[in-house]
Amino acid sequence: MIKPRRVLIVGSKFGELYLNAFLQPQSDLELVGILAQGSPRSQQLARDFNVPLFRSLDELPDDIDIACVVIRAEVIGGKGDQLTQALLARGISVIQEHPLDAEAIKRHQSIANKNNVMFWVNSFYSQCHAGRSWLHAAHQIHKLSQQRPVSGYLTTSRQLLFSALDLLLQACHCPEQIEITYVGQRSSIFHCFELSFAGTTITLDVQSYLDPRDPDMHNLVMHKMTLIWPTGYLTQEASYGPVIWTPVLHAPDHLNNEQSLYLNAGAYLHQPTSQVLCPATQNWMTAFECDGAEGVAMLLNTLSSVLNGALCPPAFSYDYQLRLAGLWQQILRMMGEPITQDLQSPIWIDPAQLMLTKEVC
């Protein structure tokens, strides 16, 4: 019988979403502790999950198999890379939350190789249900049509660019050669790019400004993307869904003036105009407690399988993760420093107020 892999969560803010993976029993995984600075939040989480709270690397036990480092990397002003290197050097496989720059990935992989352990970067959203649905559908369209997307659109923010690029590139089978063209700024709100690869051109819009007092908030669009094939287009409307497939309308005999919508020639009329493949998550509580947690659990189980001898998924290969980080850095360099603004909280509009219930004549 294979013993469960013993898992440590490093960081207790966004790390709480990783901890939520253990709200449901994980037969092949065991949560063995939290490494954090000892804030009231981390103390409460340690009590809630009934695990030790470690405040330094020196306190860690020797039998940890996997660590999830959910602390900002050096490239965005954090200490996540230092912790990752220390954990890898102790013979612990590490999943580090994105984003990371290419040089950090090279350093971490080198240490991982020396200690015969694994190092993966998690872009998070590709593991959630909507992201997995988007990727599955894109790959199925390619398989069934034997066609590549001809065009597409991607809108995101500076903070979420890394994960948005990951969703795009995985959907397009992780292209090795990508040409980037900076088109310019659009209405001072977005930087506009064109990404070209394998006969596909993607229009990329990245929000140009942020509030330095709260850089994680004020994303006009987190993840919104569309890929277009000759057979239809696939859209992920938001980070947690919906994912929608819209087939191209084609009426074979519409030029035949002897036909009618109501004759047999109108069989195409029974095809869906559009199909929701993955509905939107109901609310943010469900997104954080269920969707994100399920994605983390799946990722941890995938890593455990690879440690047991399974093949590494292409999205976690060293070469792909290095290309993804390099593309992210190249786009950031082309954008330059972000525009900083003091932003107010957005106005909340209840979706129920937007629904057409009864038309007034």
Residues 187 and 80 both lie in one domain: no
Q: State the Cα torsion 143-295-314-304 to the nearest 10°.
A: -130
123, 163 Cβ separation under 8 angstroms: yes
Q: How far is CA 220 from the centre of its chain?
A: 17
CA 69 to chain centre: 16
Report the phi/psi class of residue 320: left, alpha or beta, with left for phi > 0 and alpha for psi in -120 to 50. Answer: alpha
In terms of phi and psi (left: phi > 0; alpha: psi -120 to 50; beta: otherwise), the region of 146 is left
Q: Is residue 353 part of a domain?
A: no
Q: Does residue 201 fall inside a structural domain?
A: yes
* Residues 96 and 163 grouped into a single domain: no
Packed helices 318-335 and 161-171: angle between N→C axes, nearest 10 degrees: 130
3 state SS of 209: strand
Q: Quick count: other Cβ atoms within 10 Å of Cβ 13?
A: 14
177 with 265, same domain: the answer is yes
Same structural domain for residues 137 and 279?
Answer: yes
pLDDT value of position 269: 77
Which residues, other chains included, contact 174 with Cβ-Cβ below 8 Å and sequence gap of 6+?
A: 314, 315, 320, 323
Could you tell me if 263 and 146 lie in one domain?
A: yes
For residue 298, what is the enclosing H or E element? helix 292-307
> H/E/C letters for each residue in 127-191?
CCHHHHHHHHHHHHHHHHHCCCCCEEEEEECCCCHHHHHHHHHHHCCCCCCCEEEEEEEECCCEE
> Is 298 inside any structural domain?
no
CA–CA separation, 78 and 98 (whole Å): 12
> In this predicted structure, what is the pLDDT of residue 256?
63
At residue 1, the pLDDT reads: 61
In contact, 206 and 338? CB cutoff 8 Å: no
Is residue 54 in some structural domain?
yes
Q: Are 8 and 35 in contact (CB under 8 A)?
A: yes
**Residue 113 and residue 88: Cα distance in Å, rounded?**
9
**End position of a domain, from candidates 122, 138, 156:** 122
Pairing of strands 223-229, 232-236: antiparallel
Q: Please give the Cα distance from 118 to 115 (Å, whole number).
A: 9
Cis-peptide, bond into residue 242, ω within 30° of zero:
yes
Torsion region of 116: left, alpha or beta (phi above 0 gives left; psi -120 to 50 gives alpha): left
Structural domain count of the chain: 2
Q: Which letter, b or e, does each residue of 110-146 get, where b requires 16 or more Cβ atoms within 10 Å of its Cβ?
A: ebbeebebbbbbbbbbbbbbbbbbbbebbeebbeeee
Question: pTM higher than 0.85, yes or no?
Answer: yes
Q: What is the pLDDT along the chain (361 residues), one digit of tens a residue?
A: 678 999 999 999 999 999 999 999 998 999 999 999 999 999 999 999 999 999 999 999 999 999 999 999 999 999 999 999 999 999 999 999 999 999 999 999 999 999 999 999 999 999 999 999 999 999 999 999 999 999 999 999 999 999 999 999 999 999 999 999 999 988 889 999 999 998 999 999 999 999 999 988 999 999 999 999 999 999 999 999 999 999 998 777 665 666 666 556 567 777 889 999 999 999 999 999 999 999 999 999 999 999 999 999 999 999 999 999 999 999 999 999 998 999 999 999 999 999 998 765 5
- pLDDT, residue 188, reads 85
CATH number at residue 136: 3.30.360.10
- How far is 238 from 224, CA to CA, in rounded Å? 5
- The half-sphere exposure of 146 on its side-chain side, counting CA atoms within 13 A, is 0
Instruction: Return phi, psi of residue 184, to 5°.
Output: 135, -175
Same structural domain, 68 and 170: no
Answer whether 179's CB lies under 8 Å from 169's CB.
no
**In terms of domains, do 189 and 233 share one?**
yes
Among 78, 95, 122, where does a domain finish? 122
Write down which residue in 107, 122, 137 finishes a domain: 122
In a domain, 97, yes or no: yes
Instruction: Write the CATH number for 109.
Output: 3.40.50.720
- Nearest Cα residue to 70 out of 57, 83, 86, 56: 83
Q: Is omega for the bond preceding 149 within 30 degrees of 0, making it cis?
A: no
Report DSSP letters for 236-285, one per residue.
E-STT--EEEEEPP--TTTT-TT--TTSGGGGGGGS-S-EEEEPPPS-HH
Q: What is the pLDDT of residue 186?
A: 81
Tell me the residue range of the domain where 9 lies. Answer: 5-122
pLDDT of residue 266: 65
In-domain check, residue 23 = yes
Burial group, residue 152, by CB count within 10 angstroms (0-12, 13-18, 19+): buried
Within this chain, do residues 118 and 152 fall inside the same structural domain, yes or no? no
Does residue 217 share a domain with residue 84? no
